[in-house]
Structure 1
Amino acid sequence: MGLRFTVLASGSTGNATIVQSSEKTVLVDAGLSMKKLDELMRERGVAGHDLDALFVTHEHSDHIKGLGAFARKYELPIYANEATWGAMERHVGTIAAEKRVIMETGEALDFGSMRVQSYPISHDAAEPVGYCFQENGEKLSLATDLGYVSEKVRSQIVDSDVLVLESNHDTEMLRMGRYPWNIKRRILSDVGHLSNVAAGEALIELMTDRTKRVYLAHLSLDHNQMDLAMLTVNSILENHGIFYKQDEFPLRKTYHDKPTPWDEVRQK
């Protein structure tokens, strides 16, 4: 078995992704209740005791809601940078010293046969990061909660076999929505979230001949729809001369309330 993954949930109501190599199984973020995480994992045939570690992108509640309880229940080490530990400490409760692992931004860690690479992202958190996972030449990149795709982000996630990329909102739906203006301004800012258009424009530079699939992730329940996001992104790709036959269509869906099917990164 090579590198594979399932996005357990994605969106403002909670985020969690399982990445599995031939030797290790890890969870990225735990933004749902412990009960819900257990339930979603069961749907994909995984139990908490099967996990080897937990990686944290940043301290917002939709990424760490169940972190403390889940890690304590299954005695999991938690990997996060020092600033994120400081910001989330009061929210996750007591974590045993030996389970608190500092993984600084930009650090690469060999975790069994899998290399985990942390990289900095632009978001209104203490020191947010994304992660790339590599094994035997396969590359999976997770990139959500991005105010914009910086050159540093681009250099890390370009040429991925599979990319999980934020497509948070439709700009007009957000502007016309019920949120107060200060929240809208935050979402639209360089430390907010990627719009559908921004995701599509980023993919023009991120997709290469190696790219097999792109999962659109972290969609807003109030200011987006998956079909709209996929249509917008695909239209931008087509406008730049990037066309796919229907059976080769690379865009995939994520869900806020159910896991994606297991996806083997090497799979065409």
Structure 2
Amino acid sequence: MKVDILASGSGGNVIAVRSSGNTILVDVGIPKTQIEKRLLDVGIRPDSIDAILITHAHSDHVKGLPLANKFQIPVFATEGEWKSIKGVNKELQNIIVGNMLVSDFDVTPFKVYHDAFEPIGYAIVDKVGDKVSVCLDTGMVDSVMIETMKYSEFFIIESNHDPIMLEHSNYPNATKARILSDIGHLSNAQTAEALTKLVKGVGEKIYLTHLSSTNNMSELAKLTTIRALDKKGYKANEDYEIEVF
């Protein structure tokens, strides 16, 4: 399995997952032409995409959906999120209804906590058993999410903000409250805590994503997770790899 983060953050999110000649995208949150270019940059032909999985219908996750119509790519999302998704040809629309086989990938959705109709994350397993878990916008991580994401080779998880930086930002109080709520975004500490329950020190690859450009810093997010895992006895670049997007 190969994973490429093509875009991450409030400006847009796109993840490509490849295995055994099959490719799927999780979210398409930047303009179609940019997705096409970034796919080609990592050696993926846009007309070779087998499916698009959507976590939720906020614009930074669906902006590039015209790609689906152009290349006739099936799009998968929950019934709730289809209420907000526009412009996808009817024949390409698919509703996520629990565990599904998408292309050659076994896809298990799991509930996340965000201010959308029916947002989800995904645990994706290829036919040789490699697993990637994608947990983007969520205000908290519960035991069901942890159980579904366990035993992944790749963890793609948001590490959105530092609460102190957020508190001292010029964001309106209502926006601060939304971000900090259980249907907002994960702080660095929340992400680190979740990863201490998931990482087993067997060479997993951690990708910290969706960092706030205003209320976080790459090194701060990375060090928060490294310190938490260090307390569990796991060393970065020895027991696991970590990268910030």
C-alpha deviation, 1:63, in angstroms: 0.2
C-alpha deviation, 1:235, in angstroms: 1.5
The one-letter code sitting in structure 2 at the alignment partner of 1:96 is N
State the number of aligned residues: 244
C-alpha deviation, 1:77, in angstroms: 1.1
Tell me whether 1:101 sits opposite 2:133 in the alignment: no
Give the TM-score of the pair, scaled to structure 1. 0.87
C-alpha deviation, 1:122, in angstroms: 0.7
2:172 to 175, 180, 183: 180
Give the TM-score of the pair, scaled to structure 2. 0.94
* Higher RCO (CA 8 Å, separation ≥ 6 residues): 1
Tell me whether 1:149 sits opposite 2:141 in the alignment: yes
Query: Residues of 1 paired with 2:107 and 2:196: CA distance?
Result: 25
Which residue pairs with 1:60 in the alignment? 58
- Secondary structure at the counterpart of residue 28 of structure 2: coil
Query: Residues of 2 paired with 1:217 and 1:39: CA distance?
Result: 21
- Secondary structure at the counterpart of residue 115 of structure 1: strand
Which residue pairs with 1:237 in the alignment? 229
Closer/same/farther in 2, CA of residues 246 and 25 from structure 1, 3 Å limit: closer
| 4+ long deviations beyond 3 Å | 245-249
C-alpha deviation, 1:211, in angstroms: 5.3
Tell me whether 1:30 sits opposite 2:28 in the alignment: yes
1:159 to 151, 161, 166: 151
Which residue pairs with 1:222 in the alignment? 214
1:11 to 5, 9, 12: 9
Query: Residues of 1 paired with 2:53 and 2:224: CA distance?
Result: 31
Where does structure 2 lack aligned partners over 5 or more consecutive residues? none
Which residue pairs with 1:131 in the alignment? 122
- Secondary structure at the counterpart of residue 88 of structure 1: coil
Where does structure 1 lack aligned partners over 5 or more consecutive residues? 255-268
Query: Residues of 2 paired with 1:59 and 1:183: CA distance?
Result: 19
Closer/same/farther in 2, CA of residues 189 and 251 from structure 1, 3 Å limit: same
Query: Residues of 1 paired with 2:36 and 2:11: CA distance?
Result: 16
C-alpha deviation, 1:75, in angstroms: 1.4
Contact 2:201–2:240 (Cα < 8 Å) also in 1: no
Give me the identity figure in percent. Answer: 35
Closer/same/farther in 2, CA of residues 28 and 246 from structure 1, 3 Å limit: closer
- Secondary structure at the counterpart of residue 202 of structure 1: helix
Which residue pairs with 1:266 in the alignment? none
Tell me whether 1:42 sits opposite 2:71 in the alignment: no
Contact 1:23–1:113 (Cα < 8 Å) also in 2: no
The one-letter code sitting in structure 2 at the alignment partner of 1:226 is S
Query: Residues of 2 paired with 1:98 and 1:163: CA distance?
Result: 32
Query: Residues of 2 paired with 1:132 and 1:245: CA distance?
Result: 23
Query: Residues of 2 paired with 1:247 and 1:237: CA distance?
Result: 12
Alignment of 1:52-91 (within 5 A): 52-67=50-65, 69-89=66-86
Query: Residues of 1 paired with 2:58 and 2:203: CA distance?
Result: 30
Q: Cα RMSD (Å) of the superposition?
A: 1.5
